[in-house]
Each structure stands twice: as C-alpha cells, then as structure tokens.
Amino acid sequence: MRLSQGPAVRLLAVRSLRAHRKAWAAVFAAVAVTSALLGALALAAGSAALGHARVERYADAAVVVAGDQEVRWTTKPWGSEPTTTVTALTERVRIPAATVDVLRAVPGVRAAVPDRAFVMRDDTGTAHAGRSWEAARLAPYRLTDGREPRAAGEAVLGSGAGARVGDTVAGRKVVGLADGPAALYVTEAEARRLAGRPGSVDAVGVLADPGVPADALHARVRAALDAAGLRDTASGQPLRALTGDGRGGAEHLAAAPARMDLLQLLAAVSGTVVLVAVLVLASLVAQALQQRSGERELLLSVGATPLQVRAAAGREVTRVAGLAALCGAVLAVAVFPVLWSALRHRTGVVPEGLELPAPPWLFTGVLVVAAVVAGIARLVVLLAARRPGKPGRGGVRKGVGIALLVLG
C-alpha cells in the first residue's frame, strides 16, 4: 500500500536532507552567493532609477529655466516603422538673455537671476570656476568675511579655496569670502564680459515671492515662455522650466547620461550573473541528484511514484534554497555599500553631482530577489528531476547479462 503523497513527500525530503547534507552544501552556497549578488545589483539599479542630478547652486530657486539638453533624431530603416532616438548632451545649451526680462514680468516672481559660467586662470595655470555674485543668491551662498565685489578687479572667493581677504587670485583682489564651493564670484557686468556671450545665459533662476507655491509659479513661468515663443540658441527647442529635483539637471549636465549608462551596466551585469547562476545551479543540482540515483531507484521499486520522488526533490531544494536565499538577502545589504563605493570612486561610472538615493523601502527589494532566486533553484531541480527513471537493473543483473551475451 502506498503512502499518501503529502506525508510520504515530507518524509522523503526530510530524511534526504539529513542523509545528504554535504551534497546540498554546494547548492546552499551557490544560492546564497547568487542572492547576495543579485540583491546588491537590484539595490544599485533601484537607487540608479531614483537617481537625479544634485541640486546645489539652484537650491533656493523655485523654478530654473534652461535649454533642452537632449537631442532627438528619427530614422526609418527600410521596411520598418520610424524610430526616434534621444541622447542627452553634456555641453551646455544656452538660452536667450531676453528670457530674464520675460520672467521678471511674471506675477509672483521676486527676482529672475541670470547664471553664466566661465573659467579664469591664475599665473600658475590653475583654473577657477567663475560666476556672478548675483547668481550666488540662487543657492544662496552668503558672505562669511569681507564684502561683495563692486569693481571689475574684485571678486568674492568660495571658502573652500583656502585664500583670505586681501589675497590676489586670477588677477583679482579677494574682497570677500563666501560659503560654498571654491569659485570666484565677480560683478554681473564682469561676468557678462568674461562669459563671452552677451546675448545668451546658461540658465535663469526664478526666486518666488513669499507664499507663492512652486507649482503655481511653474505654471505661470511655463505660460509666459510659451507666449513669448522663446527658444534655445542651439537647436531652437522650447525652453525647459524645472522644479524640484529636476533643477539639478541644469547644473550637472553629465548626470543624466551617466545615469542611463549606469542602468545599462547594471542590467548587463545582472543578466550575466543570472546566466552563470542558472548554469552553476543546474550542474550542482544534477550532481546532487546523480549521487542519489540508486536511492531514487530503490524508492521507485518499493512503491514510490515518480511524482512523489520529484516532489521530494522539490521540497529538498525549497528548504535549502529558501534559507540560502534569505541569508544572501541579508548579505546583499552589506554588499550594496561596497559595490556603490567601488562604482563611485574606483571606476568613475558615477560622476560628481549624480545623487543616488537609497530610501529605506528600497531594501525590501532584496526579499523579492531572494524569492526569485529560490524560485529559479526550484525550477532547476524540477527540470533536473523531471525524469526520475524506472527501477534500474542493478550491477549484478547487468553483469549476468553481459556474461550470457559473451557465452552465447
């Protein structure tokens, strides 16, 4: 009389695990490593998907108006539908200087501040980033010592440069120090001259009147830009009005393309890990089942059904892979910072200015990855055990058969 499937399967699975601990140890290690690697990669991909350019210089601006930093072109291969490709630009697309006057007339705008970036070099050839002192209001960067520049030969220096009031940097007398990065801030007229493009600006930061919501001001700014018909100076695309985290896109131009490259890199590495993991697991599971081939044949010969044998193997791997995947998920949380640090500081894949957040809820993704890895392991073992075989002829019977064949 055959045992009912439920108790029989559980009994076979438990006894097999106890008897074949060494055989399943390699499977446990492989599943744990796979879960840890894929979990860390999933956390990295999730953080990259949430990533955005860091908002620094425009932190106090409710809206930032800038040029379109994307180029689009449409191709139509023969016999196919047209496809449009979008690529982010890392070179600044400037906007007309007339944008400043248009924005200053928008209700709710306290100030519209143009921003121009340029480079100044000192006697040693060291490059210093330069901007107008008026644009420092957009951060805002405030004086910590001295006063603001009033003449062409004066400048305020960011405190990170290590200079003092009275020093001369890049041919300009330092009359003040400000918090913020190591940059030189000159008068608006001098910034316009040094930028070399009097008819255009890099961006315009819009400061809101007290009590004006950012979304309401954004709608007004958008309407004013559309009504004025302003276009950027490169390809004639409509100007962008950025709010929230999107403002960082007008500061760190390399962040957007780097984020897409990072996502593609993580996807490629994850696919490779999955492929290698499936091959390794299939090999280890097949080896573990092969070591028990005689035991499986014995179970079949005493009345166990093929379904019971396959189910027992499935329960074994579920127990082993489930625990291993959870251990790997815990390990993934520790591997994630190491992976992120390597990508940021050693490979140069993550540029300065790309913010990669990791909110607490993101770490629940390792549990999803653990479940997927355990499911893959279960699928692999079911495929490996899909043909448990029939009760085989033992070695003695095979030997007798060969002897009879030789003797004729």
Q: Worst-scoring range by mean pLDDT, 170-174, 268-272, 379-383, 403-407?
A: 403-407
Provide the mean pLDDT of the chain: 83
More confident residue, 8 or 162: 162
Question: Which of the 8 DSSP states describes residue 250?
Answer: G
pLDDT for 320: 82
CB-count burial class (<10 Å; 0-12, 13-18, 19+) for 159: middle
pLDDT for 28: 87
pLDDT at 150 over 90: yes
pTM of the shown model: 0.76
pLDDT category of residue 180 using cuts at 50, 70 and 90? confident
For residues 296 and 13, the answer to whether their CB atoms sit within 8 Å is no
Read off the pLDDT of each residue in 251-280 and give the average, rounded to a whole number. Answer: 90
pLDDT at 352 over 80: yes
| CB atoms closer than 10 angstroms to residue 91 | 8
| CB atoms closer than 10 angstroms to residue 90 | 14
How far apart (Å, rounded) are the C-alpha atoms in residues 152 and 219? 38
pLDDT for 108: 94
pLDDT at 392 over 60: no
The H or E element containing residue 155 is strand 154-158
How far apart (Å, rounded) are the C-alpha atoms in residues 277 and 290? 19
How far apart (Å, rounded) are the C-alpha atoms in residues 332 and 337? 9
Q: pLDDT by residue (tens digit) across 190-206?
A: 999 999 888 899 999 99
DSSP E strands: which ranges in 170-292? 172-178, 184-186, 200-201, 203-208, 240-242
Read off the pLDDT of each residue in 397-403 and give the average, rounded to a whole number. Answer: 49
pLDDT at 225 over 90: yes
How far apart (Å, rounded) are the C-alpha atoms in residues 12 and 315? 9
pLDDT at 176 over 80: yes
Q: Which tokens sit at 214?
A: 């950012």
With CA atoms as reference, report the closest residue to 266 among 371, 372, 349, 376. 349
Among residues of the chain, what percentage have pLDDT more than 70? Answer: 81
Q: pLDDT by residue (tens digit) across 66-112?
A: 999 888 888 877 777 888 888 888 889 999 999 999 999 999 999 99
CB-count burial class (<10 Å; 0-12, 13-18, 19+) for 398: exposed
Chain-centroid distance, C-alpha 228: 38
pLDDT at 401 over 60: no
For residues 333 and 33, the answer to whether their CB atoms sit within 8 Å is no
Q: Worst-scoring range by mean pLDDT, 85-94, 331-340, 380-389?
A: 380-389
What distances in angstroms separate CA 72 from CA 69, 89, 119, 333, one per listed residue?
10, 10, 30, 39
pLDDT for 379: 81
pLDDT for 302: 62
pLDDT at 267 over 60: yes
pLDDT for 263: 92
pLDDT for 296: 63
pLDDT for 143: 92
How far apart (Å, rounded) are the C-alpha atoms in residues 246 and 54? 9
Q: pLDDT by residue (tens digit) across 6-38?
A: 554 455 545 555 555 666 788 888 899 999 999
pLDDT at 345 over 80: no
pLDDT category of residue 4 using cuts at 50, 70 and 90? very low
pLDDT for 7: 57
Read off the pLDDT of each residue in 353-371 and give the average, rounded to a whole number. Answer: 92
Cα angle, residue 244 at apex, residues 231 and 198 outer, rounded to 5°: 35
Beta bridge partners of 242: 64
pLDDT for 186: 94
Q: Coil, strand, or helix at residue 65?
A: strand
Q: Which tokens sit at 120?
A: 């100044």
pLDDT category of residue 395 using cuts at 50, 70 and 90? very low
What residues have CB less than 8 Å from 345, skipping those under 6 apart? none
Question: Which of the 8 DSSP states describes residue 346?
Answer: T
pLDDT for 294: 59
What residues have CB less than 8 Å from 175, skipping those under 6 apart? 146, 147, 148, 149, 150, 154, 155, 156, 165
pLDDT for 9: 46
pLDDT category of residue 391 using cuts at 50, 70 and 90? very low
CB-count burial class (<10 Å; 0-12, 13-18, 19+) for 385: buried
Q: pLDDT by residue (tens digit) across 275-314?
A: 888 888 888 877 777 766 656 665 666 666 666 666 666 6
